[in-house]
Amino acid sequence: MEQAVWTVSKILQWTQQYFSGKGLENPRLDAEVLLCDVLGCRRIDLFMRLQQELQPEELKKFREFVLRRAAWEPLAYIIGRKTFLQWEFKVTPAVLIPRPETELLVEKLVHCLTGKTLTQMEKEAFWRKKAEEAKAAAEKVKAVSAEKMQMETDPAKAAAWQMEAEARAAVAAETAERAGLVFAGQQESNEENTADRPAEDGTRDIAGNTDAGREQAAGHTVDILDIGVGSGAILLSLLKLLPGSRGLAVDISAEALAVTKENARSLGVADRTWFIQSDFWSRIPAKSQFEIVVSNPPYIPAQVIGTLARDVQKEPRLALDGGQDGLDAYRNITAGMAQHIKPDGLAAFEVGIGQGEAVAALCREQGFSVTAVAKDYAGIDRMVFAARPDSVKAEWVKKLQK
């Protein structure tokens, strides 16, 4: 009996209908994401490969994925990763899946610390790269020109080499100026401090056990604590965007911390990240203080969890269940803020629908009387920021109130 031929077009159409019958919200999108993972391509590439036949091993893997998704397993768990901002994070059933609204929390924290938007930072990074490329090209031409001029007996040709070197140097200088750089005599501000390397289970330095490396040569070091770090999406994104920063990842789940560690290595920030398995503040040294304490804790009221979408219910209950009113985690975290946040520090939370003012009130009870509740992309109260009234960051928080 002749076996059926499954092309990309045919299998997408069949899977879309199958997923629709299972009640999945985005059947076509889900089918495309899973097939892209099997074929190792982008979604846009599928349209160029509609008549491509799937190989037996590809069909087998895709069928396994389809059955898992039909059972309402989240897409991110099936393919093992989730994009957050511009990076891909490993995710497993041990961690909450990063969501787009959380990206806004990261963006606002970056703006608080730098005064810049992510778009501005991306433009600066683009021009910095261009400036470094122009500098390298100018130095190469300069070296070649110097060698040629020593050997050249024709004055006109020697002058041409000199002009080429000067032209390249001018381009490099112009590009550096646009990027806000001064290359002449510039030291790299991000030199590694090899005497101050974090241990995987270490809390030294960032947790207050030593004073080594408190200030970088380029300026103040920002110490960030993420309680309930999960996949590390918030903390590690901040470390990528803020080179002069260090982070302490805290989670009660050893499995979640293992995911964070792997993501820290893949994003290249493991040397600036520390890890502690702890139930809120219980294992964080009493004297440790941080400029930023951020958390996206469990905030779903326990009795509501059973009403959530079936795939959301597949995520770890530990990362969802916020107690009877959804505020248990906030009570635990705010209780330690006065002790562990520096005088000019800031607390930042993601919150559930309708929880903004309640969480802000918890912050005010701890002396962080300047608070702001900020909305997400859908216009829903989603973030709470809090600072002491005499804090430098209080002025930034006040601007969010407007």
pLDDT of residue 189: 38
Q: How many Cα neighbours within 13 Å face the side chain of 48?
A: 6
| pLDDT score for 146 | 73
Chain-centre distance for alpha carbon 359: 24
CB contact burial 90-102 (16+ within 10 A = b; e otherwise): bbbebbbbbeebb
Residues 332-358 have pLDDT tens digits of 999 999 999 999 999 999 999 999 999
Residue 131 makes CB contacts below 8 A (sequence gap 6+) with 172, 175, 176, 178, 179, 181, 183
- What does the chain come to in residues? 402
Distance of CA 178 to the CA centre of its chain: 27
Chain-centre distance for alpha carbon 91: 13
- The structure's pTM equals 0.79
Digit-coded pLDDT (tens) for 279-326: 999 999 999 999 999 999 999 999 999 999 999 999 999 999 999 999
Q: How far apart are CA 378 and CA 249, in angstroms?
A: 29
Structure tokens at 16: 């879309």
For every one of its 402 residues, what pLDDT tens digit does the chain have, with 9 covering 90 and above? Answer: 346 789 999 999 999 999 999 999 999 999 999 999 999 999 999 999 999 999 999 999 999 999 999 999 999 999 999 999 999 999 999 999 999 999 999 999 999 999 888 887 777 666 666 677 767 777 776 776 777 667 766 777 667 767 777 777 776 677 666 666 554 444 333 333 333 334 344 444 455 443 333 333 234 689 999 999 999 999 999 999 999 899 999 999 999 999 999 999 999 999 999 999 999 999 999 999 999 999 999 999 999 999 999 999 999 999 999 999 999 999 999 999 999 999 999 999 999 999 999 999 999 999 999 999 999 988 999 999 999 999 999 999 999 987
The 8-class DSSP code of residue 22 comes to: T
Q: How far apart are the C-alpha atoms of 90 and 77, rounded to whole Å?
A: 9
Which stretches does DSSP call E strand in 35-188?
81-84, 87-90
Residue 328 near residue 355, CB atoms below 8 Å: no
